[in-house]
């Protein structure tokens, strides 16, 4: 469903931590490595600008954009900085230290309570919340959820990303003037920008924990092993879960707001007519810095400089059986590219439906909303077969959930810009 685009998707069972989908795009044919890859194919893979050897689900780090906002709201409730009914005026920007922190031009603004701020993705609400919380309080709340931490998944090569704090900056930078934390750097953290840089695995785990009422499970890829000469499978025990001790009423407020996103907010069109109720949050994250007076215009930008498209979600809302996080690199608004893929993944897992070819083409081209036409039954769709003799050209066709990923030894991309801009 990614088509020719780059990105990652991680889906988890919130109740167990079992990995339901682990997708990195573009991918490659692992058969090339079975008897030792030749120099030509290795060079094609290793030097490709699309980095097919990078396991983006495990090692790709991205600013979370507005998918961070539900967790910011939960931090506000937990710390007592704000209640769900606290009203904040959103004039379309937030002023701090003489700097104007902006919002998307299509944002409605107005008086925001917590639910409306999540449903409509108000930037000003979360800019001001970040200022009230401060960087270290945000860090201390987000770390137990798994942001900027190793999840402990049973595969090697995981990276931490960056969950900023004053101590992190002092350790990371060498020059004294760089080590100092400036108050203005805090503001953009509230909308998932700034130094924030996380993997889709971390974002999926945090979403699953929220869906599971604050019970965090370690992600687990291997659930059983089997000897080649034996028909008997040996179950692999899962690690005991961790109760984060979060207030159930607070989490219910956030989950209900995320349901509002799919019913009246930024992903309404994508989830129209779904045979289940889900909660979600769109995100659009800056990939590069813009100049002080430069306005974002995707049509005028080189494709790899455009914003990333993100989405987090869980379903069914009343008893979540799947939680996911997805990024489509440089694909723009979260509702345009990432959310449509999430909808099809949910339809597959919960309803046993697989998109028809017309719908798949729309999804691949970033032109989809709710599914069109009649879906196929997933049980009737054969798994794609990659010939063992295929060249090393990266592949990016449709992959159902439960798909594995790339070589975890590749180098992760550089964390995105810290420029304070609006996201949705």
At 185 the three-state DSSP class reads helix
pLDDT of residue 301 exceeding 90, the answer is no
**The pLDDT value given to residue 414:** 36
pLDDT of residue 395 exceeding 90, the answer is no
**The pLDDT value given to residue 313:** 98
Closest by CA position to 330, among listed 347, 309, 361: 309
Q: How confident is the model at residue 333 (pLDDT cuts 50, 70, 90)?
A: confident
DSSP secondary structure letters along 9-53: EEEE-TTT-BEEEEEEESB--GGGGTT---HHHHHHHHT-TT-TT
Catalytic, out of 24, 48, 66, 230: 66
**The pLDDT value given to residue 288:** 75
**The pLDDT value given to residue 151:** 98
Each residue's pLDDT tens digit, 127-148: 999 999 999 999 999 999 999 9
Closest by CA position to 65, among listed 186, 210, 205, 190: 190
Give 335 or 412, the one with higher predicted confidence: 335
Strand partners, 96: 99
**The pLDDT value given to residue 255:** 98
Q: How confident is the model at residue 424 (pLDDT cuts 50, 70, 90)?
A: low
pLDDT of residue 419 exceeding 60, the answer is no
Quote the CA–CA distance of 295 and 421 in Å, as a whole number. Answer: 10
200-214, 342-356, 382-396, range with the lowest pLDDT: 382-396
Q: What is the DSSP letter of 265?
A: S
Q: pTM for the complete prediction? A: 0.89
Percent of the residues in the chain that have a pLDDT greater than 90, as a whole number: 81
pLDDT of residue 230 exceeding 50, the answer is yes
Place of tokens 């999430």: 342
CB atoms near residue 318 (< 10 Å): 9
Number of H-type helices and E-type strands within the chain: 13, 15
Give 176 or 402, the one with higher predicted confidence: 176
**Helical (H) or strand (E) element with 58:** helix 56-59
**The pLDDT value given to residue 421:** 39
**The pLDDT value given to residue 398:** 36
Q: What are the angstrom distances between the C-alpha of 402 and each of 19, 93, 178, 247, 326?
A: 8, 42, 43, 33, 14
165 counts as catalytic: no
- Tokens standing for 137? 């309080």
Quote the CA–CA distance of 59 and 158 in Å, as a whole number. Answer: 6
pLDDT of residue 13 exceeding 90, the answer is yes
Give 116 or 290, the one with higher predicted confidence: 116
122-131, 303-312, 387-396, range with the lowest pLDDT: 387-396
**The pLDDT value given to residue 292:** 62
- Tokens standing for 344? 């099809």
Average pLDDT, integer, range 181-189:
97
61-65, 291-295, 411-415, range with the lowest pLDDT: 411-415
77-94 burial code (b ≥16 CB/10 A, e <16): bbeeebebeeebebebbb
Quote the CA–CA distance of 383 and 397 in Å, as a whole number. Answer: 11
Residue spans of beta strands (DSSP E) within 218-330: 224-226, 233-235, 242-243, 279-285, 308-315, 322-328
**The pLDDT value given to residue 407:** 36
- Tokens standing for 37? 């890859």
209: left (phi over 0), alpha (psi -120 to 50) or beta: alpha
Q: How confident is the model at residue 410 (pLDDT cuts 50, 70, 90)?
A: very low
Average pLDDT along the chain: 90
**The pLDDT value given to residue 401:** 38
Residue ranges in 237-388 assigned as alpha helix (H):
248-264, 338-351, 357-364
Q: Which domains does the chain have, with CATH numbers?
A: 7-223+239-380 (3.40.710.10)
Do the Cβ atoms of 419 and 287 come closer than 8 Å?
A: no
Do the Cβ atoms of 88 and 128 come closer than 8 Å?
A: yes
Q: How confident is the model at residue 290 (pLDDT cuts 50, 70, 90)?
A: low
77-86, 168-177, 181-190, 401-410, range with the lowest pLDDT: 401-410
């Amino acid at each position: 469903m990614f088509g020719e685009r780059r990105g990652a998707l991680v889906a988890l069972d919130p109740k167990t931590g079992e990995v339901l989908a682990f997708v990195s795009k573009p991918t490659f044919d692992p058969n090339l490595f079975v008897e030792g890859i030749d120099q030509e194919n290795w060079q094609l893979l290793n030097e490709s600008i699309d980095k097919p050897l990078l396991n983006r689900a495990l090692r790709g780090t991205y600013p979370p954009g507005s998918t961070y906002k539900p967790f910011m709201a939960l931090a506000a409730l937990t710390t007592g900085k704000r209640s769900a009914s606290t009203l904040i005026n959103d004039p379309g920007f937030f002023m701090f230290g003489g700097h104007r922190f902006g919002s998307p031009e299509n944002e409605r603004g107005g008086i925001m309570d917590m639910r409306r701020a999540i449903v409509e993705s108000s930037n000003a609400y979360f800019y001001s919340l970040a200022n009230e919380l401060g960087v270290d309080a945000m860090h201390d709340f987000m770390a137990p959820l798994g942001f900027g931490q190793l999840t402990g998944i049973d595969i090697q090569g995981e990276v931490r990303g960056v969950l900023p704090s004053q101590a992190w900056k002092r350790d990371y930078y060498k020059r004294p003037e760089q080590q100092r934390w400036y108050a203005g750097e805090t503001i953009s953290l509230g909308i998932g920008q700034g130094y924030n840089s996380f993997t889709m695995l971390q974002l999926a785990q945090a979403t699953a924990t929220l869906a599971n009422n604050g019970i965090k499970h370690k992600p687990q890829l291997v659930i059983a092993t089997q000897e080649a000469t034996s028909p008997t499978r040996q179950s692999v025990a899962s690690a005991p879960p961790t109760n984060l001790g979060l207030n159930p009423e607070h989490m219910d407020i956030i989950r209900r707001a995320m349901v509002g996103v799919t019913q009246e907010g930024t992903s309404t069109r994508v989830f129209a007519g779904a045979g289940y109720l889900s909660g979600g949050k769109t995100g659009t994250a800056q990939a590069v810095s813009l100049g002080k007076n430069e306005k974002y215009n995707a049509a005028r930008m080189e494709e790899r400089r455009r914003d990333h498209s993100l989405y987090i979600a869980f379903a069914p809302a009343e008893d979540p059986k799947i939680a996911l996080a997805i990024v489509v690199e440089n694909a723009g608004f979260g509702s345009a590219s990432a959310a449509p893929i999430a909808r099809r993944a949910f339809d597959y897992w919960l309803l046993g439906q697989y998109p028809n070819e017309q719908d798949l083409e729309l999804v691949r081209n970033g032109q989809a909303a709710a599914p069109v036409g009649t879906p196929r039954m997933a049980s009737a769709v054969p798994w794609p077969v990659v010939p063992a003799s295929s060249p090393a050209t990266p592949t990016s066709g449709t992959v159902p959930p439960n798909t594995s990923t790339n070589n975890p030894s590749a180098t992760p991309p550089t964390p995105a810009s810290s420029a304070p801009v609006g996201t949705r």
